Chains A and B, each alone.
Chain A
Amino acid sequence: MTVWLAIGITAAGCYLVKLLGLSAPAGILERPLAKRLAALLPVALLAALTAQQTFSDGRHLLLDAKAAGVAAAIVALLLRAPFLLVVAAAVAVTAGVRALGG
Chain B
Amino acid sequence: MAEQGEQTHHAHPAGPPHRALPAAPSAPGGGATGAAAPGERTTPLPGERPDSAVIRDALGVGVAVGLSGFAFGVTAAGAGLTLWQTCAMSLLVFTGASQFALVGALAAGGNPFTAAAGAFFLGVRNAFYGLRLSAVLGYRGAVRPLAAHWVIDETAAVTLAQSGRRGARLGFTVTGAALYVLWNLTTLGGALGAGALGDTDAWGLDAAGPAVFLALLAPMLRTAVERCTAGLAVLLLLVALPLLPPGVPVLLAALAAPAVLAVQGRRRPAPAPARAGGHDTTGEDRA
Interface on A for B, CB 8 Å cutoff?
A: 2-7, 9-11, 13-15, 17-24, 26, 29-30, 32-33, 35-61, 65-66, 69-70, 73-74, 77, 80, 82-84, 86-87, 89-99
Contacts and interface: CB of A to CB of B under 8 A. Distances in A.
Interface residues of B, number: 112
B281 interface: no
A74 B230 CA distance: 15
A22 B205 CA distance: 35
B204 A38 contact: no
A90 B204 CA distance: 8
B225 to A, nearest CB: 7
A63 to B, nearest CB: 12
Given A41-B124, A47-B217, A87 B107 contact: no
Given A41-B125, A45-B121, A55-B238, A3 B133 contact: no
Interface stretch (B30-38, B44-52, B249-257): B249-257
A49 B101 contact: yes
A47 B249 CA distance: 12
14 contacts: A6-B106, A19-B130, A19-B148, A21-B134, A35-B128, A39-B14, A39-B15, A49-B118, A50-B213, A51-B233, A66-B210, A73-B211, A91-B71, A98-B201
B164 interface: no
Closest 9 CB pairs of A and B: A21-B130, A58-B108, A94-B204, A95-B204, A35-B13, A90-B211, A48-B253, A21-B127, A69-B207
Contacts of A49: 97, 100-101, 104, 118, 209-210, 213, 250
Interface of B: 10, 12-15, 20-23, 64-65, 67-68, 71, 81, 85, 88-89, 92-95, 97-98, 100-102, 104-113, 115-116, 118-131, 133-135, 139, 144-145, 147-149, 151-152, 201-218, 220-221, 225-226, 229-234, 236-238, 241-242, 246, 249-250, 253-258, 260-261, 271-272, 276, 278
Chain A contact residues: helix, strand, loop or mixed: helix
Contacts, number: 337
Contact of B68 (A2, A87, A96): A87
A32 B120 CA distance: 22
Contact of B108 (A54, A59, A87): A59
Nearest to B108: A58
Given A7-B85, A18-B127, A26-B135, 6 more contacts: A18-B126, A43-B221, A48-B253, A54-B210, A58-B110, A59-B241
Chain B contact residues: helix, strand, loop or mixed: helix
B210 A44 contact: no
